[in-house]
Amino acid sequence: MTEGLVLRLPTSEEVDTFWRDGVVCLRGALDPAAVLGMAPAVERLLRGSVGETMHDMSALGAGLAAAGSTVLTDGVQGQGRFVSGTDHWRVDEDCRAFALDRGLAALAGALLRSRRVYLWEDSILVKEPDTAERTAWHQDMGYFHASGEQVCTTWIPLDVADAETGAMSFVRGSHRDGALYRPNWFVSQQSMEGTEGLEVPNVESLARAGRVELVQYALGPGDLTVHHARTLHAAGGNLSRQRRRRAISIRYCGDDARYHFRPGAPRKPHHDGVQEGDPLGDPDCPLVWQAAL
Ligand SMILES: O=C(O)CCC(=O)C(=O)O
């Protein structure tokens, strides 16, 4: 457990906001020092010294662009890079302690109204200064081989994340219609081949027409957002020439989640050992927190 990471649990109003809007911003819920204590782990992973879990999304974007796909750079070529990865908890002790933090899982359990919380995966997402690549509009559910409504992502910044450096934006209430959207390549709206579901709509034009409402929060260390796995969300590039935008996401499932395989979505090695409909809680998707009886 990360020492003293969580300072407070969500209020009942914040729980209601999560279920109404599909996202909630929890200010001052985490100890900034404990969050910043993850900085060395982030640097280790960026240097690639602890395994193959990080990906250069800017390089992926250049490859996709060369193959004819539209990459979300607003026509700008930045000097910085967007680097991200998943499943660091399997290769790095600090990431393991953070992802298995019982306080953070209890916070997710309160929001999910769940008696049990399982770790699905962790993710590190760094946008260095002057990174042009935006994070495409997407819904996490399409990437997860899981069913259930008690599924969420916590997004925890190590730096100030604002409109300039690439704060996340969310389509308010978009989790409520039950739509499943095809996963995409994260820096392009192009859907992954062989995946099922709806194409992600042009959220920005819908917002301009007043047909959806976008919400964005400027966050600092100690704040976090938690969004539902069906909530459409995206993030800007990092337009600052000085400031980094480092973040850690921890993704959790609750009581009603089961393994549910989605054609074409990226699989993890342990998925070969589980069946459709299996409960979570195996060592690769561990139970992190359970409510007292
Ligand atoms: O940090 C980003 O740019 C995107 C993160 C994201 O979409 C997520 O954690 O679900």
E strands present in 76-218: 82-86, 116-127, 135-138, 146-147, 151-157, 168-171, 214-216
Which stretches within 93-140 are classed as H helix?
Answer: 93-99, 102-112
Alpha-carbon distances of 49 from 17, 54, 87, 95, 239, rounded to whole Å: 40, 10, 15, 14, 28
Mean pLDDT taken over the chain: 93
C-alpha of residue 234 to centroid of ligand 1, in Å: 7
Amino acid identity of residue 256, one-letter, is D
Q: Can you tell me the mean pLDDT for 36-43?
A: 96
Confidence of residue 291 (pLDDT cuts 50, 70, 90): very high
Residue 272 lies in a domain: no
For the CA of 166, the closest atom of ligand 1 is 3
Asked if 134 and 187 count as a contact pair (C-beta separation under 8 A), the reply is: yes
Query: How high is the pLDDT of residue 55?
Result: 82
Confidence of residue 2 (pLDDT cuts 50, 70, 90): low
C-alpha of residue 271 to centroid of ligand 1, in Å: 23
Q: Domain range for residue 177?
A: 12-265
Query: How high is the pLDDT of residue 224?
Result: 98
Give the residues surrounding ligand 1 with Cβ less than 6 Å away: 123, 125, 135, 140, 153, 155, 233, 235, 247, 249
Query: How high is the pLDDT of residue 73?
Result: 78
C-alpha of residue 168 to centroid of ligand 1, in Å: 7
C-alpha of residue 55 to centroid of ligand 1, in Å: 14
What's the rounded Cα separation, in Å, for the pair 96 and 289? 14
pLDDT at 277 over 50: yes
pLDDT at 194 over 60: yes
Q: Can you tell me the mean pLDDT for 17-35?
A: 98
How far from chain centre, in Å, is Cα 93?
20
Q: How many domains does the chain have?
A: 1
Residue 115 lies in a domain: yes
For the CA of 140, the closest atom of ligand 1 is 10
C-alpha of residue 126 to centroid of ligand 1, in Å: 10
Residue 236 lies in a domain: yes
Asked if 125 and 213 count as a contact pair (C-beta separation under 8 A), the reply is: no
Residue 188, phi-psi category: left (phi > 0), alpha (psi -120 to 50), beta (remainder): beta
What's the rounded Cα separation, in Å, for the pair 38 and 40? 6
Confidence of residue 189 (pLDDT cuts 50, 70, 90): confident
pLDDT at 8 over 50: yes
Residue 174 lies in a domain: yes
For the CA of 82, the closest atom of ligand 1 is 3
Residue 285 lies in a domain: no
Residue 7 lies in a domain: no
Residue 194 lies in a domain: yes
Q: What is the pLDDT of residues 128-167, one digit of tens each?
A: 999 999 999 999 999 999 999 999 999 999 999 999 999 9
Amino acid identity of residue 238, one-letter, is N
The CATH number covering residue 158 comes to 2.60.120.620
Confidence of residue 1 (pLDDT cuts 50, 70, 90): very low
Q: What is the pLDDT of residues 49-107, one digit of tens each?
A: 555 678 888 777 777 676 666 777 777 787 899 999 999 999 999 999 999 999 999 99
Q: What is the pLDDT of residues 200-221, one digit of tens each?
A: 999 999 999 999 999 999 999 9
Residue 223 lies in a domain: yes
For the CA of 138, the closest atom of ligand 1 is 7
For the CA of 127, the closest atom of ligand 1 is 3
Query: How high is the pLDDT of residue 3?
Result: 60
Q: What is the pLDDT of residues 231-253, one digit of tens each?
A: 999 999 999 999 999 999 999 99
Q: What are the structure tokens assigned to 100, written together?
A: 């298995």
C-alpha of residue 162 to centroid of ligand 1, in Å: 14
